């Protein structure tokens, strides 16, 4: 027997939480675990622009023939427009190449496989804390992950001095993984001035920056959220980007992402991209069509794109409103700490400052589920659960 000796793998810390929540039988249970957007009614609906594009796609589709290894060409082109802006020199000069991927996760895997095999990278600098899959993918690829400080628990803000001190140790050719916006799990992003300092540091030291861009549009807006990336591109000729449309298109189960590499010139980009295709070929050969074709349709059609942006604005607005209400209600319920930092954070997540023990008590005593790091999904808060939530949190503080 080969399988008898296999040890069970530990449950994924975030996805495992979802399973536990499903099995929870108490009424009034609240899930602030996994990062999925919920509307005011607590549902994760299909974006209307997506539904309309799907209708048109179904009516016009004539074949189920294979896609190319790098996927839907229009989707890849539209991805570059979202990342760089339509008029960017990188697009005009063909310095970027994009491959459709299976979600942002797939894009990260391709990015790190590519870096390991083609650039000689051995080390990936990853913020502490981060989305745990970053470390796991690094290990899976055979790269060494090193943490850089990011969060200051005293100020509930960015540990800028710690970050700079740690990244000063990154060597030429090391990969530095940055969250494009809406840092997961803290919700804290660098300021424009800090982005510029990092961008210059990267160019001087010869890092290979890898942007994980899973929440474009969730912090301030589609264009605004690309500011850090675009500053980096002013100073760095080479860069990697892992995009995800899971959240901003609400297409979680269609696995829509993209891996983009920016090279010094079109020829180098083309050669590097051929290696990317080689990687994809041996993992899944070529991607699935539906999600990417749908997104391409939305982004190509002015009216549908405008509708999508309006819906994205609404999602962002709802989360921001919930942040305000959450902080106000915590105070109204008698919290003595200042939770104003939660209002300043970007994206779906908030690093609430709750300790693992407090998170455990919320689950055990109140059927409220959050990640033990204290990360809460603000998009899981609704008018219906916010009173119960704030009362309960104050009881465990």
Stretch touching ligand PLP by CB under 6 A, among 4-12, 102-110, 192-200, 367-375: 102-110
Catalytic residue chosen out of the listed positions 38, 212, 308, 363: 212
Q: Which of 212, 211, 123, 113 is nearest to 171 (CA)?
A: 123
Q: Is 250 in the site for ligand PLP (CB under 6 A)?
A: no
CB-CB contact of 72 with 100 (8 Å): yes
Q: Is 35 in the site for ligand PLP (CB under 6 A)?
A: yes
Among all residues, whose Cβ is closest to ligand PLP?
103
Q: Site for ligand PLP (CB under 6 A): which residue of 76, 127, 216, 244?
A: 244
Stretch touching ligand PLP by CB under 6 A, among 98-106, 258-266, 280-288, 324-332: 98-106
Q: Distance of alpha carbon 316 from its chain centroid, rounded? A: 15
Q: How far is the CB of 166 from ligand PLP (least distance, A)?
A: 19
Rounded Cα distance, 170 and 255, in Å: 32
Q: Is 307 in the site for ligand PLP (CB under 6 A)?
A: no
What are the helix (H) ranges across the chain? 15-23, 48-60, 73-84, 89-92, 103-114, 133-141, 160-167, 192-205, 227-235, 266-283, 290-300, 302-332, 341-344, 356-366, 386-396
Q: Site for ligand PLP (CB under 6 A): which residue of 80, 98, 184, 352?
A: 184
Report the residue number, 279 or 329, with the smaller CB distance to ligand PLP.
279
Residue 176 burial (10 A CB sphere; 0-12, 13-18, 19+) = buried
Q: Known catalytic residue: 29? A: no
Report the residue number, 95 or 255, with the smaller CB distance to ligand PLP.
255
Q: Distance of alpha carbon 328 from its chain centroid, rounded? A: 28
Residue given tokens 């797939």 in the structure block: 106
Q: Is the peptide bond before 129 cis (omega within 30 degrees of 0)?
A: yes
Catalytic residue chosen out of the listed positions 70, 125, 131, 195: 131
Q: How far is the CB of 179 from ligand PLP (least distance, A)?
A: 6
Q: Known catalytic residue: 212? A: yes
Stretch touching ligand PLP by CB under 6 A, among 80-88, 103-111, 150-158, 225-233: 103-111
| Angle at 164 (CA atoms; ends 243, 349), nearest 5 degrees | 45
Q: Is 369 helix (H, G, I), strand (E, B) or coil?
A: strand
Q: Is 287 in the site for ligand PLP (CB under 6 A)?
A: no
CB-CB contact of 281 with 69 (8 Å): yes
Q: Which of 72, 133, 70, 104 is nearest to 242 (CA)?
A: 104
Q: How far is the CB of 361 from ligand PLP (least distance, A)?
A: 26
Q: How far is the CB of 145 from ligand PLP (least distance, A)?
A: 15
Report the residue number, 222 or 329, with the smaller CB distance to ligand PLP.
222
Q: Which two tokens stand for residue 245?
A: 């449309």
Element spanning 126, H or E? strand 123-128
Report the residue number, 35 or 380, with the smaller CB distance to ligand PLP.
35
Q: Site for ligand PLP (CB under 6 A): which residue of 137, 176, 214, 354?
A: 214
Q: Site for ligand PLP (CB under 6 A): which residue of 17, 75, 98, 104?
A: 104
Rounded Cα distance, 148 and 127, in Å: 5
Report the residue number, 101 or 392, with the smaller CB distance to ligand PLP.
101
Contacts of 317 (CB under 8 A, 6+ apart): none
- Cross-sheet strand order for the sheet of 256-262: 96-102, 256-262, 239-244, 208-213, 175-179, 123-128, 144-149
Stretch touching ligand PLP by CB under 6 A, among 61-69, 85-93, 100-108, 260-268: 100-108
DSSP secondary structure letters along 23-77: H--STT-EE--S-----TTS--PPPHHHHHHHHHHHHH----PPPPTT--HHHHH
Residues contacting ligand PLP: total by CB under 6 A = 12
Q: Site for ligand PLP (CB under 6 A): which residue of 257, 287, 374, 380?
A: 257
Q: Is 131 in the site for ligand PLP (CB under 6 A)?
A: yes
Report the residue number, 130 or 392, with the smaller CB distance to ligand PLP.
130
Q: Site for ligand PLP (CB under 6 A): which residue of 79, 80, 186, 246?
A: 246
Q: Site for ligand PLP (CB under 6 A): which residue of 159, 166, 212, 238?
A: 212
- Give the HSE-up count for residue 17: Cα atoms under 13 Å, Cβ half-sphere: 22
Q: Known catalytic residue: 247? A: yes
Known catalytic residues?
131, 212, 247
Q: Which residues bind ligand PLP (CB under 6 A)?
A: 35, 103-105, 131, 179, 184, 212, 214, 244, 246, 257
């Amino acid at each position: 027997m080969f399988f008898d000796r296999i040890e069970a793998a530990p449950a994924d810390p975030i996805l495992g939480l979802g399973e536990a929540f499903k099995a929870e039988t108490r009424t009034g249970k609240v899930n602030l675990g996994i990062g999925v957007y919920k509307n005011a009614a607590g549902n994760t609906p299909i974006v209307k622009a997506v539904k309309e594009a799907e209708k048109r796609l179904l009516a016009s589709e004539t074949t189920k023939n294979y896609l190319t290894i790098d996927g839907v060409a229009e989707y890849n082109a539209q991805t570059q427009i979202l990342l760089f802006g339509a008029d960017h020199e990188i697009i005009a000069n063909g310095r970027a190449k994009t491959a459709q991927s299976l979600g942002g996760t797939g894009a990260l895997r391709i990015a790190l496989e590519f870096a390991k095999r083609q650039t000689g990278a051995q080390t990936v600098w990853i913020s502490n804390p981060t989305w745990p899959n970053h470390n796991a993918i690094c290990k899976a690829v055979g790269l060494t992950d090193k943490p850089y400080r990011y969060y200051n628990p005293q100020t509930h803000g960015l540990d800028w001095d710690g970050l700079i001190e740690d990244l000063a140790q990154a060597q030429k050719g090391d990969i530095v993984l940055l969250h494009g916006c809406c840092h997961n799990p803290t919700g804290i992003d660098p300021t424009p001035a800090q982005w510029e300092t990092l961008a210059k540091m990267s160019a001087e030291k010869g890092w290979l920056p890898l942007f994980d861009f899973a929440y474009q549009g969730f912090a301030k807006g589609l264009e605004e959220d690309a500011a850090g990336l675009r500053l980096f591109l002013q100073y760095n000729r080479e860069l990697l980007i892992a995009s995800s449309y899971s959240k901003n298109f609400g297409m979680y189960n269609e696995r829509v992402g993209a891996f983009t590499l920016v090279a010094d010139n079109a020829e180098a980009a083309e050669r590097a991209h051929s290696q990317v295709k080689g990687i994809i070929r041996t993992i899944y050969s070529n991607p699935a069509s539906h999600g990417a074709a749908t997104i391409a349709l939305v982004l190509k059609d002015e009216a549908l794109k405008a509708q999508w942006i309006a819906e994205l604005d609404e999602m962002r607005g709802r989360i921001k409103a919930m942040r305000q209400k959450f902080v106000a209600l915590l105070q109204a319920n008698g919290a003595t700490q200042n939770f104003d930092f939660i209002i300043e954070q970007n994206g779906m997540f908030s690093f609430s400052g709750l300790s693992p023990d407090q998170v455990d008590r919320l689950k055990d005593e109140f059927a409220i589920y959050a990640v033990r790091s204290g990360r809460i999904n603000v998009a899981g808060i609704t008018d219906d659960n916010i009173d119960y939530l704030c009362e309960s949190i104050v009881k465990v503080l």
